[in-house]
Amino acid sequence: MSQPQRGRFVTFEGIEGAGKSTQMELLVQRLVDAGEPVVVTREPGGTALGEKLRGLLLDPDIGQMAAETELLLIFAARAEHLAQVIRPQLEQGAWVLCDRFTDASFAYQGAGRGLGSERVATLEGWLQGELRPDLVMILDVPVEVGLQRALARGKRDRIENEDVAFFERARSAYLERARCFPDRYRIIDGAQDLESVSTAVVRIWDEWQQAQGH
Binding mask 7-36 for Mg ion (x = CB under 5 A): -------------xx---------------
Helix axes 48-58, 67-81, angle to 10 degrees: 160
Helix ranges, the chain (H):
20-33, 48-58, 67-81, 87-91, 102-104, 117-128, 143-151, 164-180, 194-212
User: Toward ligand ATP, which CB reaches closer, 91 or 189?
Assistant: 189
Q: Which stretch binds ligand ATP (CB under 6 A): 47-55, 126-134, 145-153, 206-214?
A: 145-153
Q: Residue 209 interacts with Mg ion (CB under 5 A)? A: no
Q: Which of 18, 77, 82, 111 binds ligand ATP (CB under 6 A)?
A: 18
Q: Which of 8, 9, 11, 14 binds ligand ATP (CB under 6 A)?
A: 14
Residues that bind ligand ATP (CB under 6 A): 14, 16-22, 149-150, 153, 193-194, 197
